[in-house]
Amino acid sequence: MVLPVHDVHPTHRTPWVTRFLLLANVVAFVLSPVALAPVLGSGNTASVCRQIAFFDEYAAKPYEVVRNDAEDEVATGQVGTAESGEVGCVTQSPPPYEKSPALSVLFAMFLHGGWLHLLGNLLFLYVFGNNVEDRLGKVRYLVFYLGCGYAATYGFSLAFNGSTQPLVGASGAIAGVLGAYLVLFPRAKVWSLLTFFFFLPVRLPAWLVLGSWFVLQYLYTRGAGLSEATGTAYLAHVIGFLVGAALVWRLRGTGEPRPLHDPRWGPYAHRR
């Protein structure tokens, strides 16, 4: 596996939107009940019930998204005991709140299932987001990011329209950023860690790093769009990546000349 940690492609402007998205994801996660669970586990029964109730209210569910109608029965966050003596999460019908499936898609982009899920997504956004924002501009980049996230979620939901398992994470939107980066800067160099060689640092072209990432996501979808082992919606990654690449296709090979006075580029360098 190739893990990108830094790209060698400086920007002209401060990536304020990317920084905002990074911060928003962290804040949303810290305020969620998932942040209180162990890094590699789900916690006790009470913690699990709180997480289920939280995701019932805010996460996107394919069944709800496709029908634009929320489920009638949701978890309350409380632990109860059935007549058989089995301990489980208490449910309630109807829900004590109004849920908009379309709005839940937006909320879900800033929710994560654990610390590793969050940090993995933020690493990719941190490495590749600033350059895409630099090319698109702040407003267009934000619209692009959210649009890719919506496309990934709705695309996955159409393919698995009967699933009531919550979809959370910024992966679909970030996959769109990766697709855009591959189209715009295929030859940019990316410092990466080869995890199967004891985290050996290597400098690779973006087309190889992101191309191999996309192929891996696609291969996972051949077996199942949602891996039962990892709970990862790989099909959403594939859709987000393709949508992001398609949206910026017309921008490939364009750009403003780099400033002649910028010492990072030398006296006569221009952007390609």
Instruction: Count CB-CB contacts under 10 A for residue 109.
Output: 29
User: Could you tell me the sign of the dihedral formed by the alpha carbons of 63, 231, 122, 131, in that order?
Assistant: negative
Q: Quick: pLDDT tens for 133-144.
A: 999 999 999 999
Residue 93 lies in a domain: no
Is the pLDDT at 114 greater than 80? The verdict is yes
Residue 266 lies in a domain: no
Select the more confidently predicted residue: 252 or 200: 200
- Helix or strand holding residue 75 (H, E): strand 74-81
Average pLDDT of the residues in 247-264: 59
Residue 60 lies in a domain: yes
Number of domains in the chain: 1
Residue 269 lies in a domain: no
Angle in degrees, 0-180, between the axes of helices 206-223 and 171-184, rounded to the nearest 10: 140
CATH number of domain containing 208: 1.20.1540.10
pTM of the prediction?
0.87
Report the C-alpha gap between 186 and 209 in whole angstroms: 10
Report the C-alpha gap between 177 and 184 in whole angstroms: 10
Q: Quick: pLDDT tens for 199-236.
A: 788 999 999 999 999 999 999 888 755 544 446 889 99
Domain containing 132: what range?
2-71+99-251
Select the more confidently predicted residue: 262 or 190: 190
* Tokens of residue 21, six digits: 């998205």
